[in-house]
Amino acid sequence: MSENINQPQLETFSYDDKTVKMFSIATLVWGAVAMLVGVTAAFELASWRVNLGLEWITFGRLRPLHTNAAIFAFAGNAIFAGTYYSLQRLCKARLYSKTLSYIHFWGWQAIIVSAAVTLLSGFTTGKEYAELEWPIDIAITLIWVAFAVNFFGTLFNRREKHIYVAIWFYIATIVTVALLHIVNSLAFPVSLMKSYSIYAGAQDALIQWWYGHNAVAFFLTTPFLGLMYYFIPKAINRPIYSYRLSIVHFWSLVFIYIWAGPHHLLYTALPEWLQTLGMVFSISLWAPSWGGMINGLLTLRGAWDRVRREPVLKFLATAVTFYGMSTFEGPLLSIKSVNQLAHYTDWIVGHVHSGTIGWNYFLTAGMLFYMVPKLWNTKLYSVALGNLQFWTGTVGLLLYIISMWVAGVTQGSMWQAIDPHTGVLVYPDFVETVVRIVPMYWVRAFGGTLVLLSFLIMIYNLWQTIRNSPKEQPEQKFQALALKARDQKAHSDQGHRRLEGLPAFFTVLTVLAVVVGTAIEIIPSFMAKQFVVKNDDVKPYTPLELAGRDIYIREGCYNCHSQMIRPLVAERLRYGAPSQAAESIYDHPFQWGSRRIGPDLARVGGKYPNMWHYRHMLNPRAVTSGSIMPSYQWLFQNKSQLDILPKKLNVMKALGVPYSDEEIENAVTLAKEQAELITETLAESGVPPEMKDKQIIPLIAYLQRLGTDLGPTLLQEEEEAARK
């Protein structure tokens, strides 16, 4: 028609759903893997035999794989699928670049595979949720950039003026995660697969938990909130209850989350006020989180019959409910007095899973049930299966949460139980507290299995859905007015800036919000000298101890053993003088840990003879009956590589650990000498001398060193103080 000539053309476009499809499938695959690994780990805790004596599937190595797979493989792919799907439709624009989408997809899958391989073979940085070694970290950064470019490219080409709130949540995610990842992973490589974090001790702890918390905040929360704000209205075909509220929700979250990190470090060697600040922020997080939850739930008001009928809504509604639950539990747990009981126990584990399973898995399920039929333009294979999955999953999850809560409270109170008359611990033997909760571990493992089962049901259900979809899928074409066409004139008269500037702007803002948070948290830690009392009695590890420490990290001991004695009477009685920031200033990375499946090791040094450790590592039950710790036979077969030590010491020196040059030169010989000494003490109990170059020796050396620098003096001081 002729009139089209003199009018701004309506642009015809279609959506790139191929990428979305690929990510959706990846989500299913990796979800299954992550949960399978999780269940295996759960059974290993219930019975130490489950690892079949294989080093690469011991709990210490499986657990990092589980967390990484769940967060970055499962949740990651889900986020990408959902984001790409909703972004295109919210922007009325096709994905920016086909190539980038491909790079993004295959790159990410490659990363996941390499992560699985390296983690199982013991290559780890020893920082929770950031265990991947530096080459993979770099790969992650690159792929993330590809994602960002693809995302913002699409956003700039959008044909809808308004930036829907979901997009803001995505932007926050992209920017923040990049920043968190880079800042936290800064490390100094020793070899291709070994590096030391540039931060040490308290500073590392701050960075790590600022990251650790925000990994949850910005990888498992903001993107999924964005998805919630998109998929709930879509699924129920009704606008979000209050759009205004959702915007307030966004900004307050972005602003507050950043500061909440320190609540993971309550009762640690961090300055008091910083802990309190963290606590206050965690508590104030409650408001925006619930704002979001209420907004989501009220959107479903008056449609509960549909929630009962349709799996999509069922999952979404439940997800939001669990979000509300865990965002209530979180602040609760960050209240100091609660934290005192719950910290280092399974309560935290339960809390985390109510979030990851209840919120992330269920929301993903709802999202997939909505997306997949639309993408393959067909109907869901079976609603019945959907309901079956829902109930299996929910029951499993509840079993999980309840068992973990019981286990946590039980163990926590047993640790702190002190006989009022005698003033001694009621359960001095740590293993008692473990044996008590093993039944709960069985329940948990069972619950986990149910969850895995439900996930497999979903996979079958969706696979059938896809299989029964029509063979040829015509691409739906859409039409909209180009944003420029609409604005040019408008701008000319009202002098508006170009709208395209806006997303960039929000990015900058989010960056800055994060930067300030970072500043508040990190700068103090860089100014460590301001509050970390430097103590000259604290000396760097000897070469052999350092080698031992790397074995400790490799085997993921930190997954079960903390190295941070809290200033509580019970802990004082059980482990000795409270840890001081000064004691870990040479720990690259810090090993304070977050869970005590086994006892704290901060002052284990000298507590037992070498032979005890020897026999314990060979077969824990030989020295502590009822121990659930796996045996580490391979430490007695594999030789310890000492030749790399000089390199390691060099790196450490570069990071500010005061090693003298001759120390570095003779590192190997020094190590060998110390190994000799230890082996001699063991020889008395009939250990053959050729054991001296096995990995067990450095480990013993390290364990015997822990907490010995200050421990005794601190005790004396305390006794003197007591006398006065």
Partner 1 sequence: MKQLCDHCELPIPQGVIIEEQNKSFCCHACKTVFQFIHHSKLDEYYEIKSSLNLNEKKRAQFIVRNKHLEQIDSLGFQKRFLLNGPGKTIKFYIDGMHCFACVWLLEKLQTLSTDIMEIRVNYFEKSLTLSIAESATFIETIEVIQKLGYNLYPVASDSDLEKVKKEKQHELLSRVSVAAICAGNIMICAIAVYAGADEYWKTLLERLSGAFFIPILFYSSTPILKNAFHSLKNRRYVLDIAAAFSIILGATLSYYHLLKGSGAIYFDSLGTFVFLLIGAKYILLCSNNRAAHLDTIDYRLGSDHYFKVIENSEHGIERCKISTEDIAEGDMILLQPGDTCPVDGTVWNGESYFDNSAISGESQPIKVKAGAKISSGSKNIESEILLKCSSNAMNSSMGILLDSISKSWKQSNSITGLTETLSFFLFICVVLACLGTTSFLLWSNQSEEIFPRLLAILVIACPCALGIGTPLALGFSLKSLVQKGILVKNADVLVAASKISTIFFDKTGTLTNGSQTLTAWRGERNDSLEDIIFNLESISLHPIAQSLCMSLSEKRNIPKINFVDHLEKKGKGVSGKIGTDTWSMEKFSGTEDNGDYPNATASTLKKNGATVAVLYFRDELKPESINLISKLADLQISAGILSGDRASVVNYWAQTLGLSPGHIYSNLSPQDKSDLIKNTKRAAMVGDGINDALALKESALGIAVKGSLSASLKSGDVILLENNLFKIIELIEFSRKVLNLIRRNVIWSLIYNIGGVSLAAFGFVNPLVAAVLMPISSVFVVFNISMFFYRPTATMSALSLESSYAK
Partner 2 sequence: MSILLILIPISVLIAAFFVACFILSSKNGQFEDLETPAFRMLSDGDKEKNQRSNK
Dist. CA 577–CA 602, nearest whole Å? 10
Residue (of 296, 137, 218) closest to 518 by Cα position: 218
DSSP assignment of 303-370: -HHHHHH-HHHHHHHHHHHHHHHHHHHHHHHTSHHHHHHHTBSHHHHHHHHIIIIIIIIHHHHHHHHH
Query: Please, which residue, 313 or 570, has the CB nearer to partner 1?
Result: 313
Residue 277 contact among partner 1, partner 2, none, beta carbon within 5 to 8 Å by kind = partner 1
Residue 445 contact among partner 2, partner 1, none, beta carbon within 5 to 8 Å by kind = none
| Total residues interacting with partner 1, rule: CB under 8 A | 36
Q: Which of 276, 469, 535, 633 binds partner 1 (CB under 8 A)?
A: 276
Collapsed DSSP state (helix, strand, coil) of residue 724: coil
Q: Which stretch binds partner 1 (CB under 8 A): 40-48, 95-103, 478-486, 542-550?
A: 478-486
Residue 280 contact among partner 1, partner 2, none, beta carbon within 5 to 8 Å by kind = partner 1
Q: Phi-psi bin for 186: left (phi > 0), alpha (psi -120 to 50), beta? A: beta
Residue 516 as a binder of partner 1 (CB under 8 A): the answer is: yes
Q: How many of the other CB atoms lie within 10 Å of CB of 2?
A: 5
Residue 94 contact among partner 2, partner 1, none, beta carbon within 5 to 8 Å by kind = none
Q: Which of 104, 127, 194, 234 binds partner 2 (CB under 8 A)?
A: 234
Query: Please, which residue, 12 or 625, has the CB nearer to partner 1?
Result: 12
Residue 422 contact among partner 1, partner 2, none, beta carbon within 5 to 8 Å by kind = none
Residue 498 as a binder of partner 1 (CB under 8 A): the answer is: no
In the block, tokens 């205004």 appear at 244
Residue 273 contact among partner 2, partner 1, none, beta carbon within 5 to 8 Å by kind = partner 1
Per the CB < 8 A criterion, the answer to whether 458 and 365 are in contact is yes
Collapsed DSSP state (helix, strand, coil) of residue 595: strand
| Total residues interacting with partner 2, rule: CB under 8 A | 46
Q: Which of 475, 493, 662, 720 binds partner 1 (CB under 8 A)?
A: 493
Query: Please, which residue, 7 or 625, has the CB nearer to partner 1?
Result: 7
Instruction: List the beta bridge partners of residue 191.
Output: 194
Q: Do strands 194-197 and 478-481 pair parallel, antiparallel, or not at all (unpaired)?
A: unpaired
Residue 224 as a binder of partner 2 (CB under 8 A): the answer is: no
| Smallest distance from partner 1 to CB 366, Å | 17
For residue 676, give every residue at least 6 positions away whose Cβ sits within 8 Å of its Cβ, in sequence order, or none.
692
State the Rg of the chain over Cα. 27
Query: Please, which residue, 237 or 476, has the CB nearer to partner 1?
Result: 237
In 468-500, where does DSSP find H-type helix?
A: 483-494
Per the CB < 8 A criterion, the answer to whether 328 and 282 are in contact is no
| Paired tokens of 24 | 């959706």
Per the CB < 8 A criterion, the answer to whether 196 and 651 are in contact is yes
Residue 639 contact among partner 2, partner 1, none, beta carbon within 5 to 8 Å by kind = none
Query: Please, which residue, 309 or 496, has the CB nearer to partner 2?
Result: 496
Q: Which of 29, 145, 163, 677 binds partner 2 (CB under 8 A)?
A: 163
Dist. CA 82–CA 334, nearest whole Å? 31
Query: Please, which residue, 164 or 430, has the CB nearer to partner 2?
Result: 164
Q: Which stretch binds partner 2 (CB under 8 A): 30-38, 228-236, 592-600, 604-612?
A: 228-236
Contact code string over 123-162 relative to partner 2, x by CB under 8 A: -------------------------------------xxx
**For 194, phi and psi rounded to 5 degrees?**
-140, 135
The Cα-based distances of 61 to 30, 54, 318, 426, 629 in angstroms read 18, 11, 32, 33, 13
Chain positions 481 to 500 lying near partner 2, rule: CB under 8 A, are: 496-497, 499
Chain positions 209 to 248 lying near partner 1, rule: CB under 8 A, are: 236-239
Sites of contact with partner 1 (CB under 8 A): 1-4, 6-8, 10, 236-239, 255, 259, 271-274, 276-277, 280, 302-303, 481, 485-486, 489-490, 492-494, 516, 520, 524, 530-531
